[in-house]
Amino acid sequence: MAEDEADAAFIVLAVVGRPHGVGGAVRARPFSESDLLLESDALTLRLADGSARTTRVLHVHPTGKGMLVLKLEGVSTREDAESLTGLELGVPRSALPALEDGEFYLADLPGMSVLNAAGEALGRVDEVLSYPTIDCALVRLDGRRVEIPLCEPWLLDVDSTRRVIQVGDLQDLDHGAA
């Protein structure tokens, strides 16, 4: 599997924060309201060197402040917990729930072809940018990087099987520099 495919196969759900107490528990800041962090028996840590380690979740509970406290197997001291600070916590792509028709995961968009309403190729999705109010596909069009909002009227369709997104009129978007 290529490095890009390996990255796409790892879905980041949270980042590990500071230790919680002295027994090895860690705080984690989730990136979404997904229940996967609360329901998973095992999670994967992406280590500083880029490698990954899967570990069993012994206990997890929300703090009420948008954070979670997790007790992970093999993390038994405050020092162990401190060594995880800043690491990404996630699951393999295969652990995500099945989608209904018309739904897609943002993590699946990078690398997809971008077509206009007439079916003409415009470019590829480089990455997805998540802002507080909207998610955008970053696409290189005619040598420029364009952020396409992932909502109507700009996003018309996502075909995950064909790995294609279809977009509407982009004339009113601010086209950034190359």
**Is the domain of 156 the same as that of 134?**
yes
Cα 149 to the center of its chain, rounded Å: 17
* Whether pLDDT at 102 is above 90: no
Mean pLDDT across 125-147: 90
**Is the domain of 112 the same as that of 87?**
no
Task: Find the CATH number of the domain harbouring 149.
Answer: 2.30.30.240
pLDDT band at 176 (very low <50, low <70, confident <90, very high): low
**Is the domain of 59 the same as that of 115?**
no
pLDDT band at 138 (very low <50, low <70, confident <90, very high): very high
pTM over 0.85: no
pLDDT band at 7 (very low <50, low <70, confident <90, very high): very low
Answer with the one of 94, 127, 157 that is the final residue of a domain. Answer: 94
Query: Mean of the per-residue pLDDT values for the chain?
Result: 88
- Domain of 38? 3-94
* CA atoms of 135 and 120, how far apart (whole Å): 23
